[in-house]
Structure 1
Amino acid sequence: MTLPASRNAATSYREHCATRDLYNALLRSPERHLEAAAEFLEGHLQARDNGEDDLPADPQRWPDWLANRAERSASAYADYLRERREGAPRRHFHSRAHALHFLQAVAPTKRVDGAWLHGILHHWSDPRLLPLVHTCLEELGHGIPARNHVLIYQRLLDSLGCDAPLELSDAHYLQGALQLALGYLADDYLPEVLGYNLGYEVPPLHLMITSYELRELGIDPEYFRLHVTIDNAASGHGRKALQALTAFLPQVADVEHFLHRAHRGYRLNDAGLSNRQILDGFDLHGEVIAMLERKRPFAQQMHDDRARIGGQTVNQWLAVPGRMGEFLAALERQGWIKRHQAPVHSRLWNLVAGDKAAMFGVFTPYERQLLHDWIAGDWSEPAARNPWRGNDKGAADAAPARSEFAAEERALLNELSTLAPRSRLHRLVALMAPHSHWTPAGLLATRIYTDKLGIEP
C-alpha cells in the first residue's frame, strides 16, 4: 500500500476518526479499514523518524544490550524486594481498587496481545521469521484456551467483576491500535514490526512488580507472571525477537535504511500512556464520585423519602447532576460514612455489601471495591481479603460444553476439507486474527496451524 509522501498521515487520520474508533473498527472488520490503519501507523512512525532510543546503532552490540537490559531489570527487582522486606509500601498499587482500575485501564492493549505479529503467520516457511511465528503461537496459547493470553486476561477481569469497560481516553487505546495496524500491515512494515517486537518483548521491571503486588492484593497474577517468564532474554520472546531482527540484516541491500525503520518501530513502544502514567492517573475520590454520577440517573425516584441527608431526601440529591461530591460529604457529616475506619462500621457500606444488604446487586464488585477502599482510607485490614490461591482456578477454567461449540468446529473442519493446501493455510491464519483467535473456531485453527508446523505446545 503506497501513501502520498507529502501527506501528514497522523493529522489526516485524526480529522476523520478517533483512535478508539479505529481500534474497534480493526477488531470488527479489519479488511475495510486498512487504508485508515496505514495512515494512522505512518503518521506515528513519521513522528519518530528523528527520535532517539536506547537500542544501539551497531547491530553487533545488540546481544550485549539485551543481556544488560535483562540484568538491570533483575537487579532493580532485587532492590525492590529488599525495600519491601524492610517495610517499604507497595510501589504500584495503593489499594485493591487501584489495582482493579489499572487492570481495566490497560485492557485495550491486553485484549489484542500478540496482534502485531499476526501478519508474520503468513510467512511460516521463511526460517528468518520462524522464531516470531513461535512467539505469536505462544501468545495465542497454541489454541489451548487455558493458555491463550487474551482469554487469560478476560477471565481475570471477569473473575474480579470488571467486565463492564471503563470510560477510557483515546490515549488508552493507542498502543492497541498500533499493534493491530502493525499486525495487518506487516508485509508493508516488516522492519518496523521487527523493531517494535524487540522493544515489546524485553521484560520490563514493571511486569515483575505488578505480578508481586497483585498477589499481595489477592488478585491472580498469572497473566503478568506468564509474561515475566516467556519474555526472558535467554531463551524466551526477547531472544527470539533479536534472532529475527538480526537474521534479516545480511539480506537487506540498504542496511542503513532498514535499521532506520527498525529503530522507529522500536520507538513505537513509547507511544501512548506509560504504565506509570496510568498508575499515577488514578484518583480514588474522583473515581468514587464519577461512579456514583454514572449510576445517579438510574437511581432517581428509586428511594423513599423517610431518610433525610443534610436536610434533603436521597431522591433530591440524585435529581441534579454534579452533586455527588456534596452528597458524600453530607453522608459523612451525618455519620452514614465513617472514613478511615473498617467499612463495616459505616451504615452506607452495610446497605451495599452482603447478600442480605438492602442494596444488594446495585453495585458491581469493582464499584463496591472503590467505595470500600475510599471509606477505609488510612485504615488497613489485619489480613488480606479474598486471597488468591494458585491451585484454585474455579469455574472460569471449566471446559466449555461441547454441545455448544462442537458445531462451529465441525463446520470449520468441513470447510477446510474442501480447500486447496494454500487456501487452507490462508483460512487458518484469517481465523487466528486478533478479533477471532480466542473463539472456538479460532482456537481450533490455531491448533491445526500449530500441528502443521510440528510444534510441541
Structure 2
Amino acid sequence: MALEFDLVIENRHVAFSSILILIGTCITIIVYLRNPNPLLRSERSNDLFAQGRKRLKEPPAATTNAEWTSMRELEFYKELYFKLQNLEEHTDTVPIARRAFLVLVSQALEDYGKAPNTNILSIEHFDKNELACFLQSHQDKVTSQYRRYISRRQSGGPCELFQDQQAAGDWLREIAPLKLVDGAWLGHLNKITMPFSLRQIMRQTWQVFTEELGNGNRDQHHVKIFEDLLRGFEPDLPSPTTTAILHPRYKLGNLKYWRAAVAQILVSLFPHDFLPEILGFNMHFESLQLDTMQAAKELPEVGLNAYYFLLHVSIDNGHSGHAAMAMESVADYIRHIADAEGEVAAEVAWKRIQAGYIFSEWQFQKGSQATNIIERLDDASNDRLESKVLAIFGSKIQAAHRLHCGSRVKIGRRSLSDWLDPEAFLDEEWQREFIRSLSTSKPWIYPGDSRRSKLAQEFRWGGRMYGAFTKSELETLELWINSLDYARTPFYYSFIEPITHSWHQRPKISNTDKSSNFGLALGSGSIETASSLPKDQDPLGKYLGDLSTNPNLSFLLPLWFTQCCLLESYVYAPGRTTDKIGCAVVRFLRAQSGFETEDLVVTGTDEPRTTENGGIVEFGLEIIRHASLPIPQDLYSLFSRWPSDFAMTMLKLASSPIRNFGILLGMSMAFLELQEMVSESTNSGLLCPKSSERLALLVRRQYQCLQVCLQEIPPGDTRHVDFHRGYDTAKVEINKCFGPTV
C-alpha cells in the first residue's frame, strides 16, 4: 500500500508539473502573439511580410477591415523604419525597399494623374521660369492661408492646431517618426560612386542635408532639437535608430507619419537609379507648409519651445535657403542631362523629377488612409518565378552568345544582343534592369497574358526561337508573364515612358557577409597597438615617401578617389549623427567635399560652388588633368583603367560603417597624411600652388574631426585597436604609390 500510495502522489506531482508547464507555455505564446513589435521579439527573420502575418493573423474583435489594414500597415512601416536605418545588419531588406518605393510612388502618380492641371504635372515641359512661378504660387497659397489664420486668431479665435499643452504633446508624438529622421531623404546622396560630372549638382543638394544635421553642430542639429522638445514629455526617449523607439509606450502610432518617414528613407536609398526623384522630392519637402507656421505660433502659447518650427520657416526660404537651393539643383540637373544626353532624355528626367515631387506631396495628402501595400508586395511566389526566369536566361547566354547580333529587337533602349552579353549579365543590377525592361516591353510582354505576349509565341512551334526553351522552361516563362500585375510592373514606369539608365560595368562589392568584420582583408601579421605610435611628432608627420620622385599614378589615383568612401555612409541615418562623434563625422565629410568652415549662420546659396572651392574629388581630377590623362566618368571607369584590390576592400569595409568604424577612422587618418604630402609637394606637378594651399587647410580641418572621434571612443574600446589596424594597413598601401613608376 505504501508503494502504491507513493506512486499515486508521484503521478499527481507529475500531472501537476505538467499542468504548470502547459500553463507557462500558453502564457508565453499569448505574450509572443500580443507583442506589437516583431523586432522586439526576434530579428532572426527578415521577411517583413511573413512577420506581419504571424503577428496579425486575425483581426481583433470589433475591428473593421479598414482599421485592421491600417494596423498591419503601421507595423510594416515601423519595422521597415528600423531596418532601413540599420542597413548593414539588414541588407536583405534592400530589394523589399526598392519594391515598396516603386509601389508607393506609382500610387501617388496614379492619384495625382487624375487631376494633372492642379499640380506640378501641369508643367508638361521643363521651363525654369514656369517652375519658379509654380513654386511661388504654392508659397502664395500657403502664406494666404496663414494670413487668414492670423486674422482669425487676432479676432479672438482659438488655437487651431492644438488647444492645450497635452494636445500639443499628442501632436508632437504623432509627427515624431517623421521629424526624427529629418534630412533622411538625402542621406545616401553623397556617394563617391556617383558620376563625377554630377558632383556640383549633388554638392549643392547634399549641403541641404548637412544643414539639416546642423553642419556638424549638435545645438543646430534638427533631429536633436526635436528630440529635446519631445523629451519634455518622454525624458527617456530612445534613439530613432533603435528598436526601442517602436515600442507602443511612446505612443508614436500615426500611420501617416510612419509612412512619410519611411518614404523619406526609401527615396534616398538608390541614388544611382533615382537621382531625379530625389531632387524632385527635395524640392517639395523644402517648400513652406502651413502647419509648420501654425506650430511656430501656437507652441509658445501652450508653454512649449517652438524653435524647431521657426527654424524650418526661415531656413527653407525660397530666396537663399533650402527651397531656393532645391529648385536650382533641379534646373542644373535638367541642363546637364540636356547637354549630355539630349532633349528627349531631359524630358524624361523632368517627368522623373515631377514623380519625386508628387511622391513627397502625396504623403501628406494621403493622410492616415491605408494603401494596401502589404498585399501588393506580399508575393513571394512571383519573386521565385522571376529568379527562375533570370536563371533560364543566364543558362542560355553562352550558347546564344553573338547569335542575336544581327537582330534589331530592342528591349527598352538596348538591343537583345547587348542585354545578353555574358560578362554584363553577371551583374545583379544588370539582371534586375533586364527583367524590369522585359516586363514592360510590349508587344514582347503583355503583363498577365502569356498567350498574347510575342516572346512566348516565339518559343512555340512556328516561332523563330522554337526549341531554344524546353517545355518546362517555357511553362516557367508563361507563369511569370501571367503573374505580372500592377505590383510587378508599377505605373511609375508607364509614367516616365520607360527609358534604360546608362550603365557601367561595376566591380562586385559584396556587403552581405555578416560573419566577418573583414579582418582578413586588412593584411597580415602583427597588428601594432597604440603604444607603437610616436607621441613627439607632428600630428600628421609620419613619413610615407618622397614626392620629389614621380608618384605612381596607377596606384595613387584609385586610392585618392576611393578614400572619400570611408565615412560617407556613417551619416545616412540622421538619428545617428546627433552625438559628438556623429557631428564630427559630418564636419569631416564637409571638409572632404570642400565646404567652407562651419559658422553659426548657414551659408545657403552663398556657399562657393566653383571648382576652385572643390574637395578631394576635384583635386583628384586636377591631378589627372595635369598628367594629361583622360578624365574618367566615375569611379568604376577609373577602376577599369587602374584596377586596385585595396580600393575594392575600402569600398567593402565602408559598406558597414558602424561595424568597421574604428578601421575606417584609422584608414582615414592615413589618407590625411597622404593629402598633406600632396599639398606640400609643390614641385611634383600634381596640383597648382593655390590648390595645394587649399588642400592643406582641408587636411587640418579633417584631422581635427578625426581627433574628436578618437577622444569620444572610451578607453579599452576595441575600436582603438581597430583604428591602428586600419591605419597601418592603409599606410602600407599608400607607400606603394611612391615606388618605381610603372
Which band: TM-score by shorter chain?
A: 0.5 to 0.7
Looking at structure 2, the residues matched to 59 and 247 of structure 1 have their Cα atoms a distance apart, in angstroms, of 12
Match of 1:152 among 210, 225, 228: 225
1:77, distance to aligned residue in structure 2 (A): 1.9
Write out aligned runs for 1:112-191 (5 A): 112-122=181-191, 126-161=199-234, 163=237, 165-191=250-276
TM-score by length of 1: 0.62
Q: Is the 8 A contact 2:177 2:252 kept in 1?
A: no
Looking at structure 1, the residues matched to 308 and 136 of structure 2 have their Cα atoms a distance apart, in angstroms, of 24
Q: Does 1:19 align with 2:92?
A: no
Q: Does 1:433 align with 2:572?
A: yes
Alignment partner, residue 326 of structure 1:
none
Question: Which stretch of structure 1 is more off in the superposition, 70-79 or 209-218?
Answer: 70-79
| Structure 1 unaligned regions, length at least 5 | 1-11, 279-406, 408-413
Match of 1:49 among 109, 113, 122: 109
AA paired with 2:580? P
Alignment partner, residue 70 of structure 1:
139
Q: Which has the larger radius of gyration?
A: 2
- In the superposition, relative to structure 1, how do residues 172 and 202 fare at CA in structure 2: closer, same or farther (>3 Å)? closer
Write out aligned runs for 1:159-238 (5 A): 159-161=232-234, 163=237, 165-238=250-323
Looking at structure 2, the residues matched to 149 and 184 of structure 1 have their Cα atoms a distance apart, in angstroms, of 21
Looking at structure 1, the residues matched to 139 and 109 of structure 2 have their Cα atoms a distance apart, in angstroms, of 27
1:430, distance to aligned residue in structure 2 (A): 1.4
- In the superposition, relative to structure 1, how do residues 275 and 235 fare at CA in structure 2: closer, same or farther (>3 Å)? farther
Alignment partner, residue 355 of structure 2:
264
Q: Does 1:446 align with 2:590?
A: no
1:274, distance to aligned residue in structure 2 (A): 5.3
1:271, distance to aligned residue in structure 2 (A): 4.0
RMSD: 2.9
Aligned partner of residue 187 in structure 1, secondary structure: helix
- In the superposition, relative to structure 1, how do residues 78 and 456 fare at CA in structure 2: closer, same or farther (>3 Å)? farther
Looking at structure 1, the residues matched to 559 and 251 of structure 2 have their Cα atoms a distance apart, in angstroms, of 44
- In the superposition, relative to structure 1, how do residues 426 and 439 fare at CA in structure 2: closer, same or farther (>3 Å)? farther
Q: Is the 8 A contact 1:131 1:240 kept in 2?
A: yes
Q: Is the 8 A contact 1:150 1:438 kept in 2?
A: yes
Aligned partner of residue 108 in structure 2, secondary structure: coil
Aligned partner of residue 235 in structure 1, secondary structure: coil
Write out aligned runs for 1:328-343 (5 A): none
1:36, distance to aligned residue in structure 2 (A): 1.5
| Structure 2 unaligned regions, length at least 5 | 1-46, 53-75, 238-248, 370-529, 531-538, 545-557, 599-742
Q: Is the 8 A contact 2:108 2:362 kept in 1?
A: no
Looking at structure 2, the residues matched to 222 and 246 of structure 1 have their Cα atoms a distance apart, in angstroms, of 31
Q: Deviations over 1:148-186 (max 9, x none)?
A: 111111111113336352151544311111111122212
Looking at structure 1, the residues matched to 138 and 367 of structure 2 have their Cα atoms a distance apart, in angstroms, of 19
- In the superposition, relative to structure 1, how do residues 131 and 443 fare at CA in structure 2: closer, same or farther (>3 Å)? same
AA paired with 2:566? R
Corresponding residue pairs, total: 310
1:194, distance to aligned residue in structure 2 (A): 0.9
Looking at structure 2, the residues matched to 187 and 138 of structure 1 have their Cα atoms a distance apart, in angstroms, of 23
Write out aligned runs for 1:336-355 (5 A): none
1:26, distance to aligned residue in structure 2 (A): 0.8
TM-score by length of 2: 0.39
AA paired with 2:100? F
Q: Deviations over 1:40-74 (max 9, x none)?
A: 10111222334346223343201112222223322
AA paired with 1:71? D
1:89, distance to aligned residue in structure 2 (A): 1.0
Question: Which stretch of structure 1 is more off in the superposition, 66-75 or 219-228?
Answer: 66-75
Write out aligned runs for 1:69-108 (5 A): 69-108=138-177
- In the superposition, relative to structure 1, how do residues 441 and 422 fare at CA in structure 2: closer, same or farther (>3 Å)? farther
Looking at structure 2, the residues matched to 66 and 456 of structure 1 have their Cα atoms a distance apart, in angstroms, of 31
Looking at structure 2, the residues matched to 420 and 157 of structure 1 have their Cα atoms a distance apart, in angstroms, of 44
AA paired with 1:154? E
Report which structure shows greater RCO (CA 8 Å, sep ≥6): 1
Q: Deviations over 1:271-319 (max 9, x none)?
A: 44559769xxxxxxxxxxxxxxxxxxxxxxxxxxxxxxxxxxxxxxxxx
Match of 1:59 among 126, 130, 137: 126
Percent sequence identity over matched residues? 22
1:116, distance to aligned residue in structure 2 (A): 0.8
